[in-house]
């Protein structure tokens, strides 16, 4: 993830220790990356969500700062209350690592401005617990407010159970909070940013963010 | 008839989950926690029998065959009526 | 510091012949102990001897034969004998790798057995100062119809994934096979590959007297006591009952241990470091001292424990995971401790180095062991066990084989058979992309990862064909190395070195010992011929249940280097119209082929001979073609033969192939399904095909045109075409259906 941020934005990201209590001055994007924090013991992301630094992340988000959580990062954001819902075990009860197709639902957000609405991108997933679920009211709100940014789909953009590898409700792969500044997603766009590694479909997310900050500056 | 099967790690078996949770509780300032070991609870409803002994035998079979990995786990059966 | 003998020990039982036998020591081995120390050992000492002198730690049955393996080359920095082998890949970088088995624990508790296998091999690699960059796993299971097989597959695969995924290293390759001879002994061979700087490799040998010995990592419990002895005993009817305490892996603790170790290494705190693997504290402390010509005194009262009332015996033999022993620079002790505390790990000074060359263990005010440290390792019994060579099997002539079905049906059946079908169900449970450096994912000839930011890349593979090894150990040993070599060449990598994981039955049986000796000689011959030295390895013997041994399975883990990872070649067809070419001779060897076994129901005959000179020349030729960008796809031909290789290339791409008929001189089935060695399929742009053929002719390498890429079927002239959809259903179908209980 750090390599991708540097590669696409040209800016070296600062690493923040879990026990720290403050973010570096001038932070404009917080990324909570993937990676089995605390072995995902108890519940995925549960222990990391209670790490001291998360208070600072919550405060940053409350002031409108952009937060991106990928994979375990998405789980941590849900556990920390920054995003609604939970990520349950995959429907087939197995860890799955493969490329999946995502339909980008909107392009008018800082996270998806590098894509067109309806565009289908290919990015890998690597998780055992990515089956997004929330109560009916929350789902209705997410859908009603257009807060689902990515959905698992076929290569043609068709949402279909055959292409929803983990069984997530409404094939939800990524959502934003009510203010639209906190994105959580299970797939790994950061692993598809170099042609030499096989695919660049994930690059749009980071290029879009970079563009967003350039325009804001 | 209702029953509860509690599955716990045998003593002496390392519990990485318990260990991590124990550390997290300490860092959250929960005092007085000496150790944590994580287990599983199964609430099971049985039908077609009122015979306690029979129910216990069935639950024992369930625990031995599936609910517990008896290589590393113990279990306890409570028939709650 | 010398301890008077009379202060030794209280509270311990007398040593009886039964106790000696329970420790897996033979009467003459016990006599050797008595002669060595001149008195009856304490129970703790007996435990220490049993740990040091069992097969797993002492290599007592294998040592004399392993000496015949070539272990040197200009690029080898460290050969066998350390935690892992080390090779130089230029730019100040070194690759550290090893493969190790965790067979017995994985049979008893498949999930935990597999996790601790992966954990152990990762520790071996980062102990040397390397950051793990990839894992591979070669796993063997019993007959799919055996009642335990599904449970074992499910547990082992989940365990390998559970540990590697959580630890955060991509698992990029491996092998999965099924055979009834693994019914009672499945195999889990885990390989880890790490990257280090050549100027900061860390070794086990202690140096300096009075240096603090530090215990790091997780606390000690009663895990796996006598695991190493278990790994050196045959299973019987009761072994499922005689379960020792199972070790449980903690990938999160290991991740912390990795980061902490690499950090203190960077800060130059470390003199020596040793992973606590089999027989934990005993093996690690003895090795550190013995390799440094120093004595070691341990104070067990300082060892962090997670259970109360642990005896010296238990602490010395515990196999609790995620632990390390180190000798630190005294002036850096505080700095190292601070780093470990930061990562939340236990850190305790548990002893010191001494000038006495004695291994002294204290506990609760008593001396529990006082033994000569060099002799513990060096004086371990060495056996030149009697062996008989496996009888040579008759060569099966292709013309004598009757063929029960059409070529098309045979292809469909073969590609959906347990050994040839897609192992996607397995490798999709492994995170093979974490780190963002995976250039070639599992399912091809070899996994390829980018090194740092490139341009170099590393290719790796794990190979062996156990049925060949059983039929002819020498040729089988050669073939395992040759196939690893081919798989690396097929992706465009220069093969550099191997690690060998030798899995066999009971070496006390001359015919099993014969298999071992034959395979090792074959490996040695191939390594010499191919400039492909052995830099690390592991031996697992006694893989037998009720007197039935596994197939001899010397798994070869090969590593190769790509100077430019962007030039790595994959096996899938690329474009319609590309010309398909065969490199190598194709006389049509059916003996021990999967065609003969799966289609004709005959597991018979001599396996294909391996011409190492051909392997070398054909490999170099293919690498040259890749480097010169004259080919568009390359695939090695192995299990299942030529047509299976072509089908795999088609399935990887969704493009079919139109193929000429087999030449009249060779029976068609033998041409398409024979398992001759030193062969590759390559494809080239139509315009380049003639150039490739001309180049081959000039180099004296057999090459011929097979057909053209295109269409949606494998269509051999004169045979029924097999649609890719049919092949794909068979290829991808079997394993998921089997695991769901439907096959």
Q: By mean pLDDT, which of A71-75, C55-59, C257-261, C558-562 is the weakest?
A: C55-59
Query: Is the predicted ipTM greater than 0.85, yes or no?
Result: yes
Residues B23, C344: C-beta atoms closer than 8 Å: yes
Q: Which of C102, C187, C146 is nearest to C469 (CA)?
A: C187
Q: What is the C-alpha separation between C669 and C411, in angstroms, rounded?
A: 10
For residue range C154-184, list pLDDT tens digits in order.
Answer: 999 999 999 999 999 999 999 999 999 999 9
- Residue C235 neighbours by CB under 8 Å, 6+ apart: C104, C107, C184, C185, C544, C545, C546
- Asked if residues C190 and C154 have their Cβ atoms less than 8 Å apart, the reply is no
Mean confidence (pLDDT) of chain C: 93
**% of chain C beyond a pLDDT of 90:** 86
* Cβ–Cβ under 8 Å, residues C453 and C408: no
> Containing H/E element for B4?
strand B2-9
Q: What whole-number distance in Å separates Cα of residue C495 and Cα of residue C616?
A: 10
DSSP 3-state assignment of C579? strand
Task: Report how far residue C673's alpha carbon sits from residue C414's, in angstroms, rounded to the nearest whole number.
Answer: 10
Higher pLDDT, C9 or C724: C724
**Which residue among the candidates A165, A188, A192, A212 is catalytic per the annotation?**
A188
Taking a C-beta distance cutoff of 8 angstroms, is the pair B27, B41 a contact? Answer: no
Name the pTM for this structure.
0.93
Q: Tell me, what's the pLDDT at A128?
A: 95
Q: What is the pLDDT of residues C395-419, one digit of tens each?
A: 999 999 999 999 999 999 999 999 9
Nearest residue of A to residue C437, measured between CA atoms: A197
CATH number of B2-79: 3.30.1280.10
Distance CA C496, CA A67 (A): 45
pLDDT of the residue at C5: 45
Which chain A residues are within 8 Å of C252, Cβ to Cβ?
Answer: 36, 38-39, 41
Query: How confident is the model over C101-106, as a mean pLDDT?
Result: 94
Helices (H), C168-250: 227-230
For residue B43, the distance in angstroms to the closest alpha carbon of chain C comes to: 25
> Tokens representing C385?
């066990």
**What are C515-534's pLDDT values in tens digits?**
999 999 999 999 999 999 99
* Chain A residues with beta carbon closer than 8 angstroms to that of B38: 41-42
Q: Over 80: is that where the pLDDT of A124 sits? A: yes
A188: annotated active-site residue: yes
What's the CA gap between C679 and C636, in Å, rounded?
6
Distance, CA of A55 to CA of A40 (rounded, Å) = 20
pLDDT at residue number C169: 97
Contact A53, A18 (CB under 8 A): yes
| Interface contact A4-C436, CB threshold 8 A | yes
CA C456 – CA C438 distance, rounded (Å): 12
Alpha helices in C571-723 (DSSP H): 594, 612-627, 641-651, 668-673, 686-699
Give the residue from A31, A105, A30, A34 showing the smallest Cα distance to A63. A30
Say if residues C348 and C277 touch (Cβ distance below 8 Å).
Answer: no
Confidence at C1, pLDDT banded by 50, 70, 90: very low
Cβ-Cβ pairs closer than 8 A, B with C, add up to 40
- Under DSSP, the state recorded for C220 is B
What is d(CA C161, CA A94) in angstroms, rounded to the nearest whole number? Answer: 10
- Of the candidates A19, A47, A51, the beta carbon closest to that of B20 is on A47
DSSP assignment string, C418-479: TTTS--HHHHTTS--STTS-EEE-TTSSSEEEE-TTSS-EEEEEEE--HHHHHH-HHHHHHH
- Domain spans of chain B? 2-79
Q: Are A57 and A67 in contact (CB under 8 A)?
A: yes
- Please state, in angstroms and rounded to a whole number, the distance separating the CA atoms of residues C617 and C484: 15
Residues C632, C682: Cα–Cα separation, whole Å: 7
Confidence of residue B72 (pLDDT cuts 50, 70, 90): confident
CB A51, CB A18: distance < 8 Å = yes
**Rounded (10°) angle between helices C149-167 and C251-266:** 40
Q: What is the pLDDT of residue C2?
A: 41
């Amino acid at each position: 993830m750090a390599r991708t941020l540097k590669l696409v934005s040209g800016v070296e990201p600062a690493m923040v220790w879990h026990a720290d209590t403050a973010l570096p001055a001038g932070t404009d994007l917080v990324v909570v990356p993937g990676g089995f924090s605390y072995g995902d013991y108890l519940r995925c992301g549960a222990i990391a969500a209670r790490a001291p630094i998360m208070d600072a992340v919550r405060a940053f988000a409350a002031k409108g700062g952009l937060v991106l959580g990928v994979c375990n990062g998405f789980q941590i954001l849900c556990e920390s209350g920054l995003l609604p819902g939970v990520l349950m075990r995959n429907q087939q009860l197995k860890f799955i690592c493969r490329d999946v197709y995502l339909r980008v639902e909107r392009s008018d957000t800082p996270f998806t401005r590098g894509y067109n609405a309806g565009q289908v991108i290919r990015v890998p997933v690597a998780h055992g617990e990515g089956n997004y679920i929330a109560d009916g009211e929350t789902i209705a709100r997410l859908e009603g407010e257009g807060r689902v940014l990515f959905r698992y789909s076929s290569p043609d953009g068709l949402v279909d159970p055959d292409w929803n590898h983990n069984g997530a409700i409404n094939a939800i792969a990524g959502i934003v909070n009510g203010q639209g500044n906190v994105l959580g997603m299970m797939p790994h766009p950061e692993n598809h940013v170099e042609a030499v590694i096989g695919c660049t479909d994930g690059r749009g997310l980071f290029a879009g963010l970079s563009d967003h900050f350039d325009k804001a500056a | 008839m209702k029953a509860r099967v509690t599955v716990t790690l045998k003593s002496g078996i390392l519990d990485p989950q318990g260990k991590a949770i124990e550390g997290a509780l300490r860092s959250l300032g929960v005092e007085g926690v000496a150790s944590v070991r994580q287990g599983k609870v199964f609430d099971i409803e049985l039908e077609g029998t009122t015979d306690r002994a029979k129910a216990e035998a069935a639950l024992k079979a369930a625990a031995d065959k599936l609910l517990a990995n008896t290589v590393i786990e113990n279990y306890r059966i409570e028939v709650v009526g | 510091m010398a301890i008077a003998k009379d202060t030794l020990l209280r509270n311990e039982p007398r040593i009886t012949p039964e106790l000696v036998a329970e420790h897996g020591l033979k009467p003459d081995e016990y006599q050797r102990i008595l002669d060595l120390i001149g008195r009856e050992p304490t129970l703790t000492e007996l435990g220490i001897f049993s740990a040091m002198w069992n097969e797993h730690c002492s290599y007592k049955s294998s040592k004399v034969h392993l000496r015949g393996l070539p272990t040197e080359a200009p690029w080898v920095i460290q050969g066998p004998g350390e935690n892992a082998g080390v090779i130089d890949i230029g730019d100040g970088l070194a690759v550290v790798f090893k493969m190790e088995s965790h067979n017995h624990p994985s049979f008893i508790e498949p999930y935990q057995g597999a996790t601790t296998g992966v954990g152990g091999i990762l520790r071996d690699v980062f102990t040397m100062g390397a950051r793990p960059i990839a894992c591979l796993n070669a796993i063997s299971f019993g007959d799919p119809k055996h009642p335990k097989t599904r449970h074992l597959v499910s547990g082992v695969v989940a365990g390998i994934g559970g540990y590697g995924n959580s630890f955060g290293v991509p698992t990029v390759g491996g092998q999965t096979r099924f055979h009834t001879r693994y019914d009672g002994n499945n195999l889990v061979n885990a390989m880890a590959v790490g990257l280090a700087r050549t100027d900061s490799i860390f070794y086990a040998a202690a140096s300096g007297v009075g240096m603090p010995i530090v215990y790091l990592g997780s606390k000690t419990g009663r895990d796996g006591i006598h695991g190493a002895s278990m790994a050196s005993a045959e299973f019987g009817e009761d072994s499922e009952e005689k379960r020792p305490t199972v070790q449980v892996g903690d990938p999160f603790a290991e991740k912390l241990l990795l980061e902490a170790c690499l950090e203190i290494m960077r800060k130059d705190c470390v003199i020596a470091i040793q992973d606590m693997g089999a027989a934990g504290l005993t093996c690690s402390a003895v090795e550190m001292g013995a390799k440094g010509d120093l004595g070691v005194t341990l104070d067990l009262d300082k060892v962090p424990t997670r259970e109360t009332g642990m005896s010296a015996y238990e602490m010395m033999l515990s196999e609790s995971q995620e632990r390390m022993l180190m000798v630190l620079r005294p002036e850096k002790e505080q700095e190292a401790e601070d780093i470990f505390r930061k990562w939340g790990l236990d850190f305790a000074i548990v002893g010191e180095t001494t000038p006495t060359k004695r291994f002294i263990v204290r506990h609760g005010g008593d001396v529990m062991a006082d033994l000569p440290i060099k002799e513990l390792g060096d004086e371990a019994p060495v056996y030149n066990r009697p062996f008989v060579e496996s009888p040579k099997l008759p060569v099966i002539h292709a013309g004598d084989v009757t063929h029960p079905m059409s070529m098309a049906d045979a292809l469909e059946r073969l590609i959906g058979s347990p050994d040839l079908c897609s192992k996607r169900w397995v490798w999709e449970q492994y995170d093979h992309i974490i780190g963002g450096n995976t250039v070639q994912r599992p399912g091809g000839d070899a996994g390829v990862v980018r090194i740092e930011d490139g341009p170099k890349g590393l290719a790796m593979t794990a190979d062996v064909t156990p049925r060949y090894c059983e039929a002819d150990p020498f040729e089988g040993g050669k073939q395992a190395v040759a196939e690893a070599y081919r798989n690396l060449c097929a992706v465009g990598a220069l093969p550099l070195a191997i690690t060998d994981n030798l899995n066999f039955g009971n070496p006390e049986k001359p015919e099993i010992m014969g298999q071992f000796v034959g395979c090792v000689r074959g490996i040695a011959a191939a390594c010499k011929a191919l400039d492909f030295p052995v830099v690390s390895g592991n031996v697992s013997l006694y893989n037998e249940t009720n007197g039935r041994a596994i197939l001899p399975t010397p798994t070869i883990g090969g590593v190769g280097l790509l100077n430019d990872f962007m030039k790595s070649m994959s096996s899938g067809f690329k474009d319609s119209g590309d010309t398909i070419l065969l490199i190598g001779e194709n006389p049509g060897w059916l003996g021990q082929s999967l065609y003969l076994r799966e289609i004709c129901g005959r597991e018979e005959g001599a396996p294909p001979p391996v011409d190492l000179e051909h392997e070398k020349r054909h490999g170099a030729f293919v690498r040259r073609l890749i480097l010169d960008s004259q080919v568009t796809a390359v695939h090695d031909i192995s299990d299942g033969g030529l047509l299976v290789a072509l089908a795999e290339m088609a399935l990887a791409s969704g493009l079919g192939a139109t193929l000429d008929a087999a030449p009249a001189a060779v029976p068609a089935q033998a041409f398409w399904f024979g398992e001759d060695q030193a062969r590759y399929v390559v494809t080239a742009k139509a315009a380049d095909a003639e150039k490739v053929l001309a180049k081959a002719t000039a180099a004296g390498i057999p090459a011929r045109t097979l057909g053209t890429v295109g269409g949606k079927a494998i269509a051999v002239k004169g045979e029924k075409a097999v649609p890719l959809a049919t092949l794909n259903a068979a290829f991808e179908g079997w394993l998921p259906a089997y695991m769901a209980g439907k096959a």
